[in-house]
Structure 1
Amino acid sequence: MNRLVPVGSVAVGALCALAAGVVTTAAPAATLPALGGYDLDVALAKVLLASAVVLVCYGAYRLALGLARSSGNKRRAHNARNVLRLVFGTVGAVGVLAVATQQWLGLLFSLGVVGFAITFALQQPLLSLIAWVYITVKQPYGVGDRVRIGEAKGDVIEVDFLVTTLWEINGELVSSNQPSGRVVTVPNSVVLSSEVVNFGGGGSPYVWNEIAVQVAYETDLDFAREVMREEATDLLGEEMARGIAAYREALADTPVELEVHDGPSVNVTQGESWVELRLRYLTHPRRGQRVKNRLYERVLERFNDHPDRVAFPVSRNR
């Protein structure tokens, strides 16, 4: 059913073009008086040709969009939709104007002059359009990515010709990387003038994250570190193993050489009156806060089960 609409549109457009040719050749309204100074046959042929251009462009757009969506890749289909809109929209508009004026070269020259004038009048929208081309080609982010663009942070839900729409996280209402429910619209031109951070970009959907637990100097650090590694391994397990494999594969395609641990690791730093243990692990950015909460619960529960080996600082400076 979905394919019948674009195919039917192309077929009707072809019939309109054929009818325009018949009207031009047979001139069925030659005996009728002109309408507003226009020959009825010429006017009818132009209407039919313009309709043919619109219908064929629309049908071809829907067919091409259907092929893009059949790939099953939502990000690729979204990018293809925007490109196809621009291409077929431009072709359709130029075609209709050319049919109406019957001066192809003059029309193209006029469009060039108008475009040159618009460049000065609409610098920011044109800059956003150029940025959209950059985003489409270089793909610093795409639909579904969690990003920070300038001061805005969120999940990308749409990349249009002029703006990128984010489902906001953090913001003024909430914290801890939680969605606020607000939608933020960012001009694409911001991408060309500020930094863009893609959480989970670079070829791997995973990012490194940390939780920090402060313990007293009297703590058995080897035992505490082992407990933290055990809990992270038990919670993340196979998912972290897959994430590390994907992370290493992404690094292999770059000239960057980094040491990647096979599992969670714990770093130790000294504070004013405590020792801080930082558990480092790999997770998906959208599950970051959920994993962090669960790890805190499990680690603290294990620590509380061994008060003889793990002590917490009691200083007011904590």
Structure 2
Amino acid sequence: MTRRLGYLSLGAALVVAILSVAARTAAVEWPGVVGIPTTLVVVKLLTAAAVALGAHGLYLVVVDTVERRSRSKRRLHDLRNVLRLAFGAAALVGVFGALTEQWLGVLFSLGVVGFAVTFALQQPLFSLLGWVYILVKRPYQVGDRVRIESAKGDVIDVDFLVTTLWEINGELVSSNQPSGRIVTVPNSVVLSSEVFNYSWDEFPFVWNEISIQVAYETDLAFARSEMVDVADELLGDEMRRNVERYREVLAETAVEMEVQDRPTVNVVQGESWVELRLRYLTHPRRGQRVKNELYERILERFNDHPDRVAFPVSRNR
């Protein structure tokens, strides 16, 4: 459909260009408008329209070709924005050049106007620079789950000026659940604030924890073993494969770190209980679902052994 519209636009551009040539060579002299020959006005308008239609049609054809060959929706989104900016700028120069017939003068004027706009519209300019930074450095891209300042969500669009997020958490819900709201963040924010990416291409997984409080009378070795076994049953082979990938990513950096390929349990001493924190690897979009499943299975195991696992009397955990 996009390619067909592109060809139609190119065809219309050709027809308008022919009309422009015909109007230029016509022997008919129409009355002038405010001292400007009507024939000249018509020719310039037709030429400008031909340039605009041709740029639009060529853009649609190129985008359709790229879409057919691209295998990554993320790369396609960025490339489409670059093409839109390039063809838009070219069409703008072409239209003004056709209207004024002063191509160098148009480029110089646009340069002067751009210099003035730099001072008048600093924030949009910074956002445009932020878009270029996002495009080049890739702190995030469409489909990633990120936190930018106080906004957290899944990136659904990165435009020239703003990044649009499908909100996670927020004021309406918790536990990393979508709220249904859309959040727009100026691209300029990435130039001055921290950006947290939870699902970047190289390693789209995060370490997560689930904590359970038990009484001091608990057999800690048994409780820790049960928690690890439950996590192994649920995550086992998948986690080991992901840890291997994690090690490969670490090997490409200067960071030296020992990484366990099985879930681990850390013990934290509280005032009237012991907190057992199960650490495991999971995908951020499955984080809460995995946490719920682990919690239910662990409590079931613990309740099956009341003689070895005791909970704080206050149940304040």
TM-score bucket (shorter structure): over 0.9
Q: Is the partner of 1:3 in helix, strand or coil?
A: helix
Q: Is the partner of 1:189 in helix, strand or coil?
A: helix
Equivalent pair of 2:223/2:309 in contact (CA under 8 Å): yes
Q: How many residues align?
A: 316
State the 1:121 CA deviation.
0.9
TM-score (normalised: structure 1): 0.93
State the 1:222 CA deviation.
1.7
CA offset digits 1:197-230 (Å, max 9, x no partner): 1112261110100001111222222211111111
Distance 2:104 2:233 in 1: 70
State the 1:66 CA deviation.
1.7
Instruction: Determine the structure 2 residue equivalent to 1:6.
Output: 6
Instruction: Determine the structure 1 residue equivalent to 2:200.
Output: 201
Q: Is the partner of 2:268 in helix, strand or coil?
A: strand
Identity %: 64
State the 1:8 CA deviation.
2.8
Q: Is the partner of 2:39 in helix, strand or coil?
A: helix
Instruction: Determine the structure 2 residue equivalent to 1:83.
Output: 82
- Which segment drifts farther, 187-196 or 4-13? 4-13
Instruction: Determine the structure 1 residue equivalent to 2:60.
Output: 62
Q: Is the partner of 1:119 in helix, strand or coil?
A: helix
Code of the residue aligned with 1:9 in structure 2: it is S
Distance 2:226 2:125 in 1: 56
Equivalent pair of 2:265/2:278 in contact (CA under 8 Å): yes
Distance 2:67 2:135 in 1: 17
Equivalent pair of 2:2/2:60 in contact (CA under 8 Å): no
Equivalent pair of 1:174/1:180 in contact (CA under 8 Å): yes
Equivalent pair of 1:167/1:182 in contact (CA under 8 Å): yes
Instruction: Determine the structure 1 residue equivalent to 2:298.
Output: 299
* Unmatched runs of 5 consecutive residues or more in structure 2: none
Code of the residue aligned with 1:37 in structure 2: it is G
* Unmatched runs of 5 consecutive residues or more in structure 1: none
Equivalent pair of 1:29/1:41 in contact (CA under 8 Å): no
Code of the residue aligned with 1:295 in structure 2: it is L
CA-atom RMSD, angstroms?
1.9
Code of the residue aligned with 1:240 in structure 2: it is M
Q: 1:292 to 1:61 in 2, by over 3 A?
A: same
Distance 1:202 1:225 in 2: 33
- Which segment drifts farther, 107-116 or 59-68? 59-68
Instruction: Determine the structure 2 residue equivalent to 1:249.
Output: 248
Pairing of 1:169-184 with structure 2 (within 5 A): 169-184=168-183
Pairing of 1:104-115 with structure 2 (within 5 A): 104-115=103-114
Q: Is the partner of 1:266 in helix, strand or coil?
A: strand
State the 1:239 CA deviation.
2.7
Q: Is the partner of 1:309 in helix, strand or coil?
A: coil
State the 1:38 CA deviation.
3.0
Instruction: Determine the structure 2 residue equivalent to 1:152.
Output: 151
Instruction: Determine the structure 2 residue equivalent to 1:266.
Output: 265
Match of 1:45 among 43, 46, 56: 43
Equivalent pair of 2:30/2:39 in contact (CA under 8 Å): no
Instruction: Determine the structure 2 residue equivalent to 1:139.
Output: 138
